[in-house]
Chains A and B, each alone.
Chain A
Amino acid sequence: MIGYVAIVLALVVTAMASFAYFNTHLAQATKLSTRKSPPQQGNGDLYYLIAALIATVGAAYLLYLILSDNFAYAYVFSYSSRQMPLAYKLSAFWAGQEGSFMLWLVFHVVFGLIMIRKNTAPPGTMSIYCGLQAILLILLLVKSPFMMLADLKLDGVGLNPLLQDPWMVIHPPILFLGYAGLAVPFAYGLGGLLSGKHESWVERALPWTLIAWSALGAGIFIGGFWAYKVLGWGGYWAWDPVENSSLVPWLVGGAFVHLLLVTRIRLAAVKGSYVAVIFTFILVLYGTFLTRSGILSDFSTHSFADEGVGTILAVFLMLTIGVALLLLIMRWPSLPQGETYTRVNSKEFILAAAALTLSLLGFLVLVGMSAPLLTMMLGNPQSVSTVFYNTTSLPLAVMLMLLLTVGPVLSRGGNEASLVKRYWWLIIVACVGVFVGIGYGLRQPMLLITITLAFTAVVMSIPGIVGGKTLNRPGAVAHMGLGLMVMGIVISSAASQSITANFVLGESQEVFGSQITYKGKYTLDADKGLYQNFQVDGLEKYSLQPYTKLNKEGNPAAREPGIHRGMAADIYLAPIVSEERQVAKEVMLKKGDQKIVEGLVIKFVDVSMAGQENNQNIRIQATLEVTKDGNIQEIRPEMIYRNGQTKVAPVKVFDTYEIGLNAVNPAEKAVSLGVRNLAGVSSLEQIDVEITHKPLINLVWLGAILITIGTSWAGIRRIPN
């Protein structure tokens, strides 16, 4: 009861705050035009404080319900359980849709309080900000985490074992920190449009934008790092719609950051800043809509199922787009006019070009991830393959690297002679870059160009970090990170090698220059997980331990590869079948032939068919002679077609084997049999694995860390005292 009431009350007071702020805004606007004394403050701040307090009570109550194991609430029952460790109970707070909206609200309220305390936000901005807060509160009413269950539950279902991971504790909060933070520059932008003060908001929005953008980026990178060590998530980046939905606002947000920097030099660029800030936040909402409406559940491995929140999200999305664009169009004629840049070799041009490239990249990913939605309107929903993203993003990555290379050369100024000298240095660095690429076995021209320019971009960022103006240092760090990341992505994917191998217990094989021995499996954590132990002897000695997490019933719930992180390369070992070999082996036999499979001698004697082909009821029977340790058994596995549907009926033989008839080729008198050893591999103790050598993958993580440090540092530096 407390929680639900808190949300309703917070909504009412937030609406009151929004109206109060808007009244103050109107009063200021009219007084400004009549040139009277400075206007007085309204009651907005007071209402906002009260709303923030009530919303905090609601969030704290949800936390209390989870920590006190109150399974009478559906949300707590669905995502928490008694024996879960405290950290995972905490992450149950944001594991579901309802709770993650609550987390978003908490961050939104905290940022709102900071804005009030700093007293930098004009009333128009606060009015918009309260409007967004009202949207979050309405979503929390529609998808309330405070729904009660009809019957009493003693224990909860618990967090999905796949999500019981330390990264679950920090990945979502950081991502939502970014999402919620981007509402601040959006409100500042719309506030600027409302008040017509086009220059004052830019300086105020810059630190907020940089810090929120940094958090969003860090959230994405942490997600990628997590996905790298979970099998079945397609590596650190799979262009999954859910991953893309956070990448798009980050890319467009990047464009916005660069446009803000141009705007500080030339006010004419404020047009671009307005467009960018509106689209950045709209894309945050659009991504939320796409991943939570259930529309993509057929196309994504991470998407939420449809839980009835789609329509309301679509309405709010349309509302936000409508209000923002209407305001922009109304004010467009009165926005500052002029040139964004005068010379092609100016700082403004490089910044604007970077913004354009980032927006294009964002637009491409947006179109790709919206493909199911776009094609659904034409009738048949389709998705694009990852080839689309890889081929179209590469030229834009090249463009970005080119700008990062040329930018520092131009920005250092100096006369023509020193510029020419710098270009000569650049050519030498580029040659080294080409050799790096060739050294890693890259031959494709486009990839070589990318790696070369990424290398020059990294080298060119060094003077900015070592020397240079202090204000530019964070930017240089972030840019070096981006260059390193592009190098890491290209080399680790283009130059990775992988092999599949079959290991028998105790046996060694040479793989990538090391002796690898399978040492068997063991369990830890009171049977919660199963490790398979591989000993590697080479230049270094280490062990690789792929891990299978088991759920309450003892079935595999999540699998992790064995990873050895090395400076030069990672060794990534993934078991192909985690548990006993449950899959039947295919055996093809012609009439009269025999084969030895899993210790059985199988002879195909004859095949018979009953029923007519045209009446759609056919029974096919194969006669087999199976010999094991000198004993012969005759079996007749069957295959039945009825009304166009196939039924395979395997037959047991020698107690622990099952043989099924899976396909028949009447013309060649051949059959395809599925032979399954029900005893599993326990007698043999063997395992199939895929081992991958991923060179320089560490550059991806190093790049991500530098980007995060650079962007957050830039943001913190710009916070006014």
Chain B
Amino acid sequence: MKQRHIIGIGVILLFAVFSIVNFSSSLTPYVTFAQAKGMSGDVQVRGIIVPSSIMQGDNVRKVKFLLRDESGEEVTVDYTGIKPDGLEQATSVVAVGKYQDGKFVTQKLLVKCPSKYQGSVKQE
């Protein structure tokens, strides 16, 4: 095996390790609030918004609401960012963030709306 091959393989291996470390650290698992409490990295919690619990905080980029996760637990979600369209009508909301001081702090919300994608006729 030639020297330049060894260098080449070395660079690729180094890069592979770099990517794997990055990959595992940026994985955001789907969990419930109970599990989220014990985790330090970013996680995703899916749930439904408790009706009429959406409030705007002290500035326009702060939105708070109560999210009921799949196990039924309810936690205040503290969202910083522009309020996504259709948050009020959402059938399901995924919050990506961390559990901190009794609240779930997030900068990213995925909103599933009943009307967003008109799929098949079955939905009519």
Contact = CB atoms under 8 A, between A and B. Distances in A.
A586 B83 contact: no
A385 B26 contact: yes
B53 A648 contact: yes
Contacts of A304: 117, 119
Interface string A661-689: 01100000000101000000000000010
Interface of A is mostly: mixed
A113 B68 CA distance: 57
Interface residues of B, number: 51
A384 B25 CA distance: 9
Given A384-B28, A392-B19, A645-B68, A583 B55 contact: yes
A264 to B, nearest CB: 23
Interface in A304-328: 304-305, 307
B74 A644 contact: yes
A162 to B, nearest CB: 8
A645 B74 contact: yes
A344 interface: yes
B90 interface: no
Contact of B110 (A301, A364, A385, A391): A301
B23 A368 contact: yes
B88 interface: yes
A621 interface: no
A576 B83 contact: yes
Contacts of B26: 384-385, 387-388
A78 B28 contact: no
A578 B46 CA distance: 26
Interface stretch (A43-51, A131-139, A375-383, A404-412): A375-383
A488 interface: no
Given A301-B110, A360-B15, A690-B82, A662 B53 contact: yes
A585 B30 contact: no
A241 to B, nearest CB: 12
A688 B119 CA distance: 33
Given A78-B120, A232-B84, A662 B74 contact: no
B29 A380 contact: yes
A701 B52 CA distance: 43
Contacts of B51: 647-648
Q: How large is the interface on A (under 10, 10 to 19, 20 to 34, 35 or more residues)?
A: 35 or more
Contacts of B27: 371, 375, 382-384
A234 to B, nearest CB: 10
Interface in B77-124: 82-85, 88, 94, 96, 110, 116-121, 124
Contacts of B56: 581, 583-586
Contacts of B68: 645-646
Given A78-B121, A149-B121, A392-B22, A644 B54 contact: no
A371 B20 CA distance: 12
Given A375-B27, A384-B26, A648 B18 contact: no
Contact of B121 (A77, A160, A690): A77
Interface of B: 4, 12, 15, 18-19, 22-23, 26-30, 42, 44, 46, 50-64, 66, 68, 72-74, 76, 82-85, 88, 94, 96, 110, 116-121, 124
8 contacts: A231-B85, A232-B84, A360-B15, A380-B30, A388-B22, A582-B88, A648-B66, A660-B52
